[in-house]
Amino acid sequence: MMERPVIFLEGKKVILRPLNKHTDAEKLQRWINDPEVRHNLVMIFPQTLKNEEDFIDRGGDAAKGVVLGMVLKETGELIGTMALHEIDWPNRNASTGAMIGEKKYWGKGYGTDAKMLLLDYAFNTLNLHTVSSTAFAFNKRSIRYSIHCGYKVEGVQRSRLFRSGRYWDRVHLGVSKREWLPIWRRYKETGSVR
């Protein structure tokens, strides 16, 4: 008999669950050191297995943030991470971060499903007021999926990241619970954010 997977949040395509350093750290280390994956992240230095184990341990401190593994519903395969960072409890806001490390799943709606689940948790369980995210200007896929999930571009910091021999802008996006709720209702009914 197959063991039932750990489920923290369940969506249409993915499950979000706590990370396990004994089973997940090696995969996270492989992803974060992959140049193509790392290109879209702030991380530029090599990461050891211990770095990833420590990252998983820190993710368990809910007072500061929540880091979850993104798992395919149909297979149970861990394909990435989704997180709430820098939770500001007095002001009811936080930022999000996401990584799909398994590149064959890029652009297939798994990130959107995971982001909608995380926003439901942020707004309807944690009672946050606003959630923000940042992406570098060259990461059009990240900006596009955030906008699909209800985020609006709130500003641009010019020349904030050096990649591939040049400086790139950092795009700041944000969404409030009020703006997001109609999108969530549509997503639950139709499976589409549009």
CB neighbours of residue 121 within 10 Å: 18
**Is residue 85 in a domain?**
yes
Q: What is the mean pLDDT of residues 96-110?
A: 95
In a domain, 97, yes or no: yes
Q: pTM for this one?
A: 0.93
Long-range contacts of the stretch 82-88 (C-beta < 8 A, 24+): 82/16, 82/111, 82/114, 82/115, 82/117, 82/118, 83/59, 83/118, 84/118, 84/121, 84/122, 84/126, 84/131, 87/63, 87/126, 87/128
pLDDT in tens, 107-139: 999 999 999 999 999 999 999 999 999 999 999
In this predicted structure, what is the pLDDT of residue 4? 67
Domain interval for residue 65: 9-190
186 has pLDDT over 60: yes
What spatial distance separates the first Cα and last Cα of the chain, rounded to whole Å?
39
Instruction: Report how many domains make up the chain.
Output: 1
Residue 145 lies in a domain: yes
- Which domain CATH number covers 82? 3.40.630.30
For position 1, what pLDDT does the model report? Answer: 44
Task: Evaluate whether residue 2 is within a structural domain.
Answer: no
Does any domain span residue 3?
no
